Structure formats: C-alpha cells, structure tokens
Amino acid sequence: MNSDASLTTLDSLQADIAELIDRLPSLKHRQFIHQALTTILNLADTEIERLDWKILTAALTDMERGFKLFYDYRHVRKISIFGSARLQPEHPAYQMALEFSHAVTQMGFMVITGGGAGIMQAGHEGAGKENSFGLNIQLPFEQQANPVIDGDAKLINFKYFFTRKLFFLKESDAVALFAGGFGTQDEAFECMTLSQTGKFGPVPLILIDHPGGDYWHSWSNYINQQLVNNGLVSPDDPSLYTVTNNLQVAYDVIRNFYRVYHSSRYVGNQLVIRLREDLSDDQVVELNDSFSDILVSGTIYKSQALPAEAQDETFDLPRLVLHFNQRDLGRLYQMISMINNMGIVTEEEAAHPERK
C-alpha cells in the first residue's frame, strides 16, 4: 500500500487502535494485544501476496481454536501420544497404546492425539472421550477423525501442520511415541530438536516398543552409532529420552519426572526451576558439585519467587535459580533427574504427578 489514501487510512487505524487500548486500561495483556494488532497493520502497509494473507488468516484461526480449547484445561497435565494411523487393533503396539493411555488417565493426565486412526484411536479408546483431545489435520486421505473423538468439542481440525504441532508441544507435559511412519518420525525428531535447543520442555519423552519389537531400539542404536559416535550431537543428548518396551517403566519415568520438579521458566537470563518440595542446603551443594559445567556464572541457589513472577500461579513454590548456558540440555535433564531423587515427597504427593 503506497497511495496517500492508503497511508491515511492506516494512520487512522493505528490511531484508533491506540485509542481503543487506552480506553481499556484494565484489559489484561493489553501490551501484547496492541503489539499483535500493530503487527497486522504493519503488514497491511507492506506489499505481500494474497496467499500470504490467506496463510496468516488460516494460521490465526488455527491458533484461536487451540487457545480457546485448551484454556479451560490449563491446570491439567496432558500427554501427547504419537504413532501410526495404519496399525490395526490386533497389532501389539495398538494394544500397548490403549493400555498406556488408560493407565495415564488413572494417574490424572489427559491424552492428546492426532485424532485419527491407528495409535491415535487406541490412545482415545484407552483414555475415553472425556479425557481426550484430538488435534486433527485437514488431509485428502487417511486422516478422518476416529469414532471416539469424532463430534466432540475437544476435536480441532487444523489447516496447517505447524500450528497443529505448536499445540501438541505447548500443551504436553509428557510425550509417548509408538511405532509409526514419516509423520511419527517427524514428530519424534521435532520433539528431540526442540528439547535439545530448549524450545520445548523439559518434559519426559518416552519411545515405546512392544515386547519383542525393536522399532525404537533400532532407532536409538542409529542415533548412538551415527550421531553420538560421530560427534553430531552431544553424548548427553540421549538423556532427553527413554526407550523401553515395558509400560511400567514408561509410567515410572513420567511419575518420577514430576516427583520434585514442577516446571521452569526464564527470568531474564536466569533459569528458574520450580519445585514441589524444598531441597536442603547440602543437596544444593551436591547439585553445584555435579553440574557446575552447565553454569555461565555464579552458582545454583535456592530462592522464593522472583519479583518478575509476582503474578505467577506458582508463586508459593520453592525454587532453584541458575545462570544456565542454554546449550547442554541433556545435562539439564540429568540434573532434573538428580533433583527428583532428592527432597522428601509423601507417598500421596508422589502418586499425583499431574498436579500442575
């Protein structure tokens, strides 16, 4: 848009937005609303293609649906289950996914799948419709909603894979992967890449084979032989995930991950780790002795909520603060594992890892 009339119109719209925001001083997150609207107006002042506007509009529509759906479930921990749409109910991986999803709902989690057939349907059958989310994708083949989630309010049909993946990972407190094709491999490597770079998690990632199967064990051997041994990833990166053919191991990994560790966030360049139970001074010394290599400066120290966390719903939880190098994520997962072996957690608390 370069005409004087267009510029005048945009200037007028920008003024209207500023006035609207000023008239709503109590509007929550007003600065981000202003920024989002301004970004759209800035694009309107740029020569971009009609297709670009279609992509932007469809992506925003996808995100609107996702944000609205998950808002009411923001305090419930959820597990994403990935796997083939082609596996039939008689396949052992299908039966394991069904058993797994039922068990984790008994632990208090809800289940997210892609909403289709195969492993996705097994996840919903085990969890039941009331504990299931379906994040479907609009495809010309293979991806009709399964009968468990079809017609449910917790089913979304996404236009784009990237917005669908956003909600899979944004909403997941654990990820379980069963055997699958290119899509499952894509989801596995997406999880690994975003975990390795600190863009996702920390959360437990479990790769589940059926007894006698070696789908993920062979995959893990490839990672070790071709990536780790050739220096293409860190020797600590396999700490990001667990490979097993035993569902009890999978349950224990999820439960133990949230035994003491609750969640984390960055405040400036400081990593703040929220805990369900406080650690002793001696235990913090042990953490410093074991993990000083991942610190840019200073030490790991105990803290209450920082001033920037004043409105945080986890305000009352004890914390550890560290200047993490944001590179050695495998080591960070190892530290979380050590933290979870510390602290004094009651049996009743340990039985409820889903409390968020």
**pLDDT single digits (tens) 249-295:** 999 999 999 999 999 999 999 999 999 999 999 999 999 999 999 99
Is 157 part of a structural domain of the chain? yes
Which of 222, 238, 257 marks a domain boundary?
257
Is 234 part of a structural domain of the chain? yes
Is 208 part of a structural domain of the chain? yes
Is 116 part of a structural domain of the chain? yes
pLDDT tens column, 206-234: 999 999 999 999 999 999 999 999 999 99
Is 98 part of a structural domain of the chain? yes
Instruction: Please check whether residues 100 and 247 belong to one and the same domain.
Output: yes
Instruction: Please check whether residues 219 and 235 belong to one and the same domain.
Output: yes
Cα separation, 262 vs 326, in Å, equals 19
Instruction: Please check whether residues 275 and 236 belong to one and the same domain.
Output: no
Instruction: Please check whether residues 227 and 91 belong to one and the same domain.
Output: yes
Instruction: Please check whether residues 338 and 283 belong to one and the same domain.
Output: yes
Q: What does DSSP say about strands 270-275 and 319-324: parallel, antiparallel, or unpaired?
A: antiparallel
What six digits make up the tokens of 219?
């995959």
Q: What is the CATH number of the domain that holds 179?
A: 3.40.50.450
Segment holding 110, helix H or strand E: strand 110-113
Instruction: Please check whether residues 269 and 203 belong to one and the same domain.
Output: no
| Number of structural domains found in the chain | 3
Q: Domain span at residue 290? A: 261-350
Cα separation, 297 vs 282, in Å, equals 20
Is 165 part of a structural domain of the chain? yes
Residues forming a β-bridge with 303? 319
Distances (CA, A) of 237 to 121, 240, 241: 31, 6, 8
Q: For the chain, 356 residues long, give each residue's pLDDT as a single digit of tens.
A: 455 555 566 667 777 777 777 766 677 777 888 888 888 888 888 888 999 999 999 999 999 999 999 999 999 999 999 999 999 999 999 999 999 999 999 999 999 999 999 999 999 999 999 999 999 988 776 568 999 999 999 999 999 999 999 999 999 999 999 999 999 999 999 999 999 999 998 999 999 999 999 999 999 999 999 999 999 999 999 999 999 999 999 999 999 999 999 999 999 999 999 999 999 999 999 999 999 999 999 999 999 999 999 888 899 999 999 999 999 999 999 999 999 999 776 666 666 665 66
Instruction: Please check whether residues 307 and 216 belong to one and the same domain.
Output: no
Instruction: Please check whether residues 191 and 292 belong to one and the same domain.
Output: no
Q: What is the pLDDT of residue 6?
A: 58
Instruction: Please check whether residues 179 and 326 belong to one and the same domain.
Output: no
Instruction: Please check whether residues 179 and 298 belong to one and the same domain.
Output: no
Instruction: Please check whether residues 137 and 219 belong to one and the same domain.
Output: yes
* Interacting residues of 162 by C-beta distance below 8 A, sequence separation 6+: 59
Output the pTM of the full model.
Answer: 0.88
Distances (CA, A) of 153 to 99, 122, 132: 24, 19, 10
Is 294 part of a structural domain of the chain? yes
Q: Degrees (nearest 5) of the Cα angle 294, 263, 302?
A: 60
Is 295 part of a structural domain of the chain? yes
Instruction: Please check whether residues 115 and 175 belong to one and the same domain.
Output: yes
* 149 exposure class (CB count in 10 Å sphere: 0-12, 13-18, 19+): buried
Cα separation, 249 vs 73, in Å, equals 27
Q: What is the pLDDT of residue 352?
A: 60
